Amino acid sequence: MNLYDFTVSDYLGNPVSLSKYKGKVLIVFNSATGCGYTPQYAGLEKLYETYKDAGLEILDFPCNQFLGQAPGSNQEIKAFCEMKYGVQFDVFAKVDVNGRHAAPLFQFLKEEAAKLSPKKKGFLFKLQKDPNAIKWNFTKFIIDRDGKVVKRVEPSTPPEEMTEDLKNLL
């Protein structure tokens, strides 16, 4: 299975095959409109505006799993992103990113990103239910033009710090 085998729902609930993004560099992330990291939308939109013509696409998946910070309907979330941050990139339907009901796309992204770093060892690590769990909103995955996860970027990292990675892939 690869990234292009997944079908997700857009903010209106329509199916979208990720094969539509073949040959593009992607940033895929989970978001929330009421989070301390929500201002990262501005930086992500700036990256999109700067590099979309070179082949960058950004895929936003709202997630309400972290303290209920993505309230509202999918349409309300999309409207908020457009009005407050001028977001032009694709906003999809809400998903879970962890746990039993995690979206298959995010299970895949976490597993692929885990292959990029050496296996952690130790008793406490093995006790964790999901050592690859997404810790918070605005966890970002950078995907190359072949659909391979090349980097996982944690929430505290501002979007502009991904510029060099993107330039290298574009």
Reported as a single tens digit per residue, the pLDDT across 147-166 is 999 999 999 999 999 999 99
At 130 the pLDDT is 73
> Does residue 81 surpass a pLDDT of 80?
yes
The mean pLDDT of 3-8, rounded to a whole number, is 96
Domain boundaries, the chain: 3-117+143-169
In 6-54, which residue ranges form alpha helices assigned H by DSSP? Answer: 40-51
pLDDT digits (tens, 9 = 90+) for 90-101: 999 999 999 999
Catalytic machinery residues: 35
Nearby residues of 6 by Cβ (< 8 Å), 6 or more positions away: 17, 18, 104, 105, 108
Rounded to an integer, the average pLDDT of 55-59 is 98
Question: Global pTM?
Answer: 0.93
What's the pLDDT at 129?
65
Residue range 25-54, pLDDT digits in tens = 999 999 999 999 999 999 999 999 999 999
Q: Is the pLDDT of residue 125 over 60?
A: no
Q: How confident is the model at residue 87 (pLDDT cuts 50, 70, 90)?
A: very high
The CATH superfamily assigned to 3-117+143-169 is Glutaredoxin (3.40.30.10)
Average pLDDT over the chain, rounded to an integer? 92
Q: Which helix (H) or strand (E) holds 7?
A: strand 7-9
Give the closest residue to 69 by CA, choosing from 103, 37, 106: 37
Q: What is the pLDDT of residue 118?
A: 62
pLDDT at 120: 56
Question: Hey, what are 56's tokens?
Answer: 């960058």
3-state secondary structure of 27: strand
